[in-house]
Homo-oligomer: A and B are copies of this chain.
């Protein structure tokens, strides 16, 4: 299948990395110059900067500003072959693809990430999409914008009210960020409509627990809640979503008619535990050993959101980008040590870099060690940190330019409704 040496032939050790997210990409980067043959497989052609995905969903950034073709990133690395392919399983030392021949590996790194969990009700995904991919983001963007467009044409007050009701399920960073920006968008769109008052939209943030941002200091949770309420967001605590339909959702037994629903709750790992026939934890994550290998598979590493390991002062490592990157770098060290016959490095230890979440476009909460920040200054720290972690000068300049423009001019040019070619969404507004 490739022009590289085939199985059984002489040739460098072959490392196959599944997933070009933060973990997989870091593994490949940290293996630069190691003299290995590397194959990087992803089912999409781009690396995605997920922490800013909510800004694509809410018309602040456009997809190309937070995504980079993997092949582009790997151009200077002749040791890396990039494959756009969907993995369906792992068998006898080979990665099985949905199309084409299996890919044999000497070492395998699984970094396939996670999806949202609907707690056994996967049929809700259609009515309340999650936010994990660019397609999710443009779907949510389309649904939000179409809700306003339809409301502008709608004569019936009850239907109009449902069109102007937006429900976000899950009070973690993604839910908080979405609710804040949607509330601001509803304000900003006001002068563009003639028949509706977009600022009178209802934006609900639904959290089954007792507070927002459970990973944060309760004082920051409280600050986030107050900030959102000041922006007009309604908060609902302590009642889970019990039903999700085309016309609304049930919260603790009460039906709420709403046209737009977004799911930002729960985490389900990708099916790596099935591939390896290892029992995953409650969220499907593979419980890896201290060196991040899968139990019974010393040649298979599992990292990032796909794995669970108690390497953070005895607690499980959180599913955040810095954790995946640290694990990717660690796995590269282990592989290098094995290749050169050196002793393996000590078990992986996670260093927590802190927690960040934005609230709307000018406020954020940050905790870093014992430091607590909030408000406008925290937003600046958040913005600079995120621009720093974007890939390449071009992206940094473009995103910085966009944010600056949004601040100065307060309007956005990326409010595009684009449909799928065959029109699977958006009702009758089609060719």
Asked if A7 is an interface residue, CB under 8 A from chain B, the answer is no
What per-residue 1/0 map shows which CB atoms of A416-431 lie under 8 Å from chain B?
1111111011011111
Stretch at the interface among A150-158, A163-171, A178-186, A282-290: A150-158
Residues of B within 8 A of A422 (CB): 420, 422, 424-425
**A45, A64, A417, A430: residue with the most chain B Cβ atoms closer than 10 Å:** A64
Q: Are the C-beta atoms of B46 and A155 separated by less than 8 Å?
A: no
Q: Are the C-beta atoms of B418 and A421 separated by less than 8 Å?
A: no
What per-residue 1/0 map shows which CB atoms of A393-431 lie under 8 Å from chain B?
011011001000100010111111111111011011111
Q: Pick the contact of A72: B3, B398, B411 (CB < 8 A).
A: B411
Q: Pick the contact of A430: B46, B86, B154, B191 (CB < 8 A).
A: B86
Stretch at the interface among A132-140, A339-347, A375-383: A132-140
Q: Given A69-B413, A415-B69, A418-B138, are A43 and B1 also a contact pair (CB < 8 Å)?
A: no
User: In the complex, what's the smallest C-beta–C-beta distance from A148 to chain B, in angstroms?
Assistant: 9
User: In the complex, what's the smallest C-beta–C-beta distance from A193 to chain B, in angstroms?
Assistant: 7
Q: Are the C-beta atoms of A84 and B195 separated by less than 8 Å?
A: no
Restricting to A195-229, which residues have a CB under 8 Å from any CB of B?
A: 195
Asked if A85 is an interface residue, CB under 8 A from chain B, the answer is yes
Q: Given A86-B429, A139-B421, A422-B422, are A415 and B45 also a contact pair (CB < 8 Å)?
A: yes
Q: Are the C-beta atoms of A149 and B45 separated by less than 8 Å?
A: yes
Asked if A392 is an interface residue, CB under 8 A from chain B, the answer is yes
Residues of B within 8 A of A429 (CB): 43, 84-86, 99
Restricting to A88-137, which residues have a CB under 8 Å from any CB of B?
A: 97-101, 129, 133-135
Secondary structure type dominating chain A contacts: loop
Asked if A83 is an interface residue, CB under 8 A from chain B, the answer is yes
Restricting to A7-63, which residues have a CB under 8 Å from any CB of B?
A: 43-46, 62-63
Q: Given A98-B428, A154-B100, A191-B75, are A417 and B46 also a contact pair (CB < 8 Å)?
A: yes
Residues of B within 8 A of A419 (CB): 135
Distance in angstroms between the alpha carbons of A417 and B422 in the assembled complex:
17
Asked if A239 is an interface residue, CB under 8 A from chain B, the answer is no
Q: Are the C-beta atoms of B82 and A192 separated by less than 8 Å?
A: yes
Q: List 20 A-B contacts (CB under 8 A).
A: A1-B155, A43-B430, A45-B415, A63-B418, A64-B413, A69-B416, A71-B189, A71-B415, A72-B415, A78-B194, A81-B195, A82-B152, A84-B146, A97-B153, A99-B153, A100-B153, A100-B154, A134-B418, A135-B420, A135-B421
